[in-house]
C-alpha cells in the first residue's frame, strides 16, 4: 500500500469536442428559420473561436446555440474568455472567444492559499499550469476536491492522475 496519495488539479478543454460542437452549431444555424439568409458564422482556430453575425441580437443567439452544443458535448463553458463585440466587414459584428487551457498563476496561488487555510493534512504545489496535491489520507484528498469544487473559481477544474 502506498504511503502517500496524490492527484493533479488541471483545467483543460478537449479541442476535438469543441470542433465537433462548432460543426453541430453551424449545422443548426443553417437549418433554423430565424437564420435564413443571414451572415452568421463560427470559425475555430488556434484555441480561439470567432463568432460573427449581422447584428448583436443574432450574435447572442449564435453564442447561445454554440454554448448549448458545447454543454451537450461536455466542454466546460467557464473556460471561455469572451472578448468585446466589434464591428466587422460587410455590416456585420464579431466576437472573439478565447479558450483557456491550464490554471494561471493567480488562480493557482488562490487555490494554494484556500487549501492551506482549510487545515487539511495535505501538501499542494504549483507545477506549471496545474496543481499537485499530496497527502497520506485519501479522505483528505477527497475533502480537497470538494473544497475546490465549491470554491466558485471562474474556471472548470478536472482532477486527474489520482494515485
- Res 65: pLDDT: 93
Q: Give the chain's domains with CATH numbers.
A: 5-12+102-160 (3.30.70.860), 15-99 (3.30.70.990)
Mean pLDDT of the chain: 87
pTM as predicted: 0.81
Question: Over the stretch 83-132, which tens digit does the pLDDT of each residue have?
Answer: 998 888 888 899 999 988 888 888 888 888 888 888 888 888 888 888 88
Find out whether 99 and 80 touch, Cβ atoms under 8 Å.
yes
> What is the predicted pLDDT for the residue at 64?
93
The strand ranges marked E within the chain are 5-10, 41-45, 48-53, 80-88, 92-99, 122-127, 130-135, 158-160
The per-residue DSSP string of 62-80 comes to: HHHHHHHHHHHTT--GGGE
Per-residue model confidence as pLDDT tens digits over 23-33: 999 999 998 88
Q: What is the pLDDT of residue 2?
A: 56
Q: Which helix (H) or strand (E) holds 143?
A: helix 138-149
Q: Which three cell numbers stand for residue 87?
A: 464591428
Average pLDDT score over residue span 59-88: 90
Amino acid at each position: 500500500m502506498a504511503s502517500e496519495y496524490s492527484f493533479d488539479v488541471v483545467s483543460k478543454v478537449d479541442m476535438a469536442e469543441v470542433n465537433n460542437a462548432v460543426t453541430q452549431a453551424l449545422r443548426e444555424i443553417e437549418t433554423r428559420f430565424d437564420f435564413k439568409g443571414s451572415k452568421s458564422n463560427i470559425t475555430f482556430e488556434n484555441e480561439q473561436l470567432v463568432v460573427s453575425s449581422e447584428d448583436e441580437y443574432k450574435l447572442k443567439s449564435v453564442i447561445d446555440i454554440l454554448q448549448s452544443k458545447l454543454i451537450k458535448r461536455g466542454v466546460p463553458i467557464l473556460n471561455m474568455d469572451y472578448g468585446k463585440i466589434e464591428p466587422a466587414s460587410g455590416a456585420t459584428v464579431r466576437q472573439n472567444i478565447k479558450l483557456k487551457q491550464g490554471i494561471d498563476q493567480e488562480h493557482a496561488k488562490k487555490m494554494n492559499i484556500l487549501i492551506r487555510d482549510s487545515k487539511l493534512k495535505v501538501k499542494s504545489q504549483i507545477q506549471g499550469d496545474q496543481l499537485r496535491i499530496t497527502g497520506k489520507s485519501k479522505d483528505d484528498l477527497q475533502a480537497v476536491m470538494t473544497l475546490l469544487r465549491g470554491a466558485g473559481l471562474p474556471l472548470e477544474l478536472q482532477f486527474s492522475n489520482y494515485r
